Amino acid sequence: MIMKKKISIIALFAVLLVTYSCKKGGLLDESTLTTLNEETTFADSINTQAFLTRIYQQVGFQYDIQYLDAGGHAGAADEAVTGRYNGTQNSGVVIAFGLISKSSTNTDFTGMWSVPYQNIRRVNVLLKNIGNAPLTAATKKGMIAEARFLRAWYYFLLIRAFGGVPLLGDKVYDITEDFTLKRSTYQECVNYIVAECDAAKADLPTSLTILPQNYGRITQGACMGLKSRVLLYAASPLFNGGQYATSGEVHDLTGYASYDKERWKKAADAALDIMNTGNYSLYVDNGPTNRPGYGFYKVFQMRVNSEYLFAAMRGAQREFESFLLPQSRSGGYAFTVSQQMVDRFPMANGKAITEAGSGYDPANPYVNRDPRFANSVIYNGAPWILSGNNNAPVYTYVGSGTTDAVSGPLAFNAGYFPRKYLLENSTGNGERCWGLIRYAEILLNYAEALNEYSGPTAEVYDALRKIRERAGIAAGADGNYGIKANATQDEMRLLIQTERGVELFMEEHRMWDARRWKTAAVDFEKPIRGVKITKTGNVYNYEYVDVREHHFPAHYGLFPILASEIAKNTALIQNAGW
């Protein structure tokens, strides 16, 4: 009953949006031809609240499993290879092949710029008109704070892709107005987003005080979480004086003028502020009745949990199952998981598979792995529901006779399928949502930033131990969960980067993380690997092979501002390399 109450307002607004929105724009977009205008929309309390909900609607548009033609950012990075939609006309493949063009008309690429700005404009329309709405002062105050956060979120999506972008303030530009605006510097954009997060936070409830019927709306935690992420990105090599443009005006548009170590301190403090609230915790369930690390698996099935700071609400659905399961389970096999990703998972004792004492057995590569591996990946022989709720092995070995088997030119089948997010049943919908910012990320943000500022301190170890304990990794005699004692700063940096890759797999982080670390041009400029398994008697043999080419040139560190946008606003300066 509580669950139904918590989604009732979102569901009500969704109905209104269907009534009043068109596919292309929505309420009050310039091209919308309806009987509603600003005066009539904001003269009605329900329409006003529906207008705000429309701004929420696309917060996760890049997290969507259907984004980049169902390959998502996993296929654009090295986590996976695009599966079912694998032609060079598909946007996920275009990125993976290094074929992005500033002249692209693909809606996934144009949307990186247009969708955020459409929603920024909607926020400004709301701020301009909400004073006339028949709502209480307290309701208006809360809605304004939500809108300001959402505007900051959409600006973040812009600056992580392009660097500095034009900041519009509160102005609503009419379609007939001159829209020749220069890009703001990266520093100006970061400062603006952080200031908006701080201002919005002051007028919002916490995750503990928000009314049940408002669950899913912005809280203080969302503001603090976005601030943490923005400051972490700002401190990172790509933006902290290390941008690819080494001189000229575009240098300051795409990062800071010079490196400043103190930016890591600001990022660490922002994460620590969240940790100190006590409002969030990792969802832990390593009890004897469940498999190790079950909490890590289960949290993604839960709409309401202790871990999500900001989430995109979803109705009841089976979208992940429909798009990700292998063919033998009637799935869409949107992508298969890469060997690079599989190798990232350590062993159950926390040691890397290449590390002495890990216990890794090349003849049995899936045995005694970090429990997150089996909770994230369907591998050869892994059980999954076949009919009813009865499990049967998924076989990918050559000659298995199943539709999941690797055969001929590998093309897109790397030999593994995703399991993360998936409901462990064959019928019925889940009420999960998309966790856009969760507490595990905050702990990892803190560990990374503090290690860069102070080295591998006890606090860095403690944050990582929490992650690994919840994962179900064995504590070991030293209680370090496989983390090397007395690690150097460089060793800890690599461990944290790997830990982010494992913990945040499929959560729209890997591509952006490798870009900001400036490792993408190395990590992604190599073929996606997979496994070709053959069987002799009862013995499996493993051959690791190139599945598909993959490219990520250095200038992909920032994407191009499309030529169509520069034609409309000639004051825009293009990013380096484009």
Dump pLDDT digits (tens) for 91-141: 777 888 888 899 988 888 889 999 999 999 999 999 999 999 999 999 999
How much is the pLDDT for 411? Answer: 62
How much is the pLDDT for 8? Answer: 37
Asked whether residue 161 is domain-assigned, the answer is yes
Least reliable range by pLDDT among 67-81, 454-468, 563-577: 67-81
How much is the pLDDT for 140? Answer: 98
What whole-number distance in Å separates Cα of residue 510 and Cα of residue 444? 13
Asked whether residue 2 is domain-assigned, the answer is yes
Rounded to the nearest integer, the mean pLDDT of the chain is: 90
Which token pair is 307? Answer: 């871990």
The CA-atom distances, in angstroms, between 571 and each of 70, 116, 246, 305 are 34, 19, 21, 45
Compute the average pLDDT of residues 369-385: 96
Asked whether residue 108 is domain-assigned, the answer is yes
How much is the pLDDT for 24? Answer: 36
Strands (E), 52-125: 80-82
Compute the average pLDDT of residues 566-578: 95
| CATH code, 116 | 1.25.40.890
Compute the average pLDDT of residues 336-364: 97
Number of domains, the chain = 1
Asked whether residue 480 is domain-assigned, the answer is no
Strand bridging mode 539-548 / 528-536: antiparallel
- In this predicted model, what pLDDT tens digit does every residue of 447-495 receive, in sequence order? 999 999 999 999 999 999 999 999 999 999 999 999 999 999 999 999 9
User: Residue 59 is part of which domain span?
Assistant: 1-63+102-204
Size (the chain), residues: 578
474 exposed, middle or buried (CB, 10 Å; 0-12, 13-18, 19+)?
A: middle
| pLDDT for 365 beyond 80 | yes
Q: What is the pTM of this model?
A: 0.92
- In this predicted model, what pLDDT tens digit does every residue of 533-543 receive, in sequence order? 999 999 999 99
What are the beta bridge partners of residue 361? none
How much is the pLDDT for 227? Answer: 98
Asked whether residue 3 is domain-assigned, the answer is yes
Sequential DSSP letters for 299-333? GGG-SS-SSEEEEE---SB-HHHHHHS-GGGT---
| pLDDT for 347 beyond 60 | yes
Which residues 6+ apart lie within 8 Å of 382 measured at CB? 366, 374, 393, 394, 419
Which token pair is 479? Answer: 């209680």
| pLDDT for 22 beyond 60 | no
The CA-atom distances, in angstroms, between 347 and each of 101, 414, 473 are 41, 21, 8
Q: How confident is the model at residue 13 (pLDDT cuts 50, 70, 90)?
A: very low
Asked whether residue 39 is domain-assigned, the answer is yes
Asked whether residue 183 is domain-assigned, the answer is yes
| pLDDT for 9 beyond 60 | no
User: What is the Cα Rg of the chain in Å?
Assistant: 24
What whole-number distance in Å separates Cα of residue 250 and Cα of residue 543? 46
| pLDDT for 46 beyond 80 | yes
- Dihedral angle at the C-alpha atoms of 183, 188, 192, 198, nearest 10 degrees? 160
How much is the pLDDT for 70? Answer: 58
Least reliable range by pLDDT among 6-15, 353-362, 399-408: 6-15
Asked whether residue 291 is domain-assigned, the answer is no
| pLDDT for 510 beyond 70 | yes
* DSSP reduced 3-state for 393: strand
**Of residues 91 and 565, which shows the higher confidence score?**
565
277: nearest Cα among 309, 235, 231: 309
Q: Residue 530 in contact with residue 545, Cβ under 8 Å?
A: yes
Which token pair is 468? Answer: 């690994």
What whole-number distance in Å separates Cα of residue 50 and Cα of residue 263? 38
Phi and psi, residue 332, nearest 5°: -90, 0
| DSSP 8-state assignment for residue 325 | S
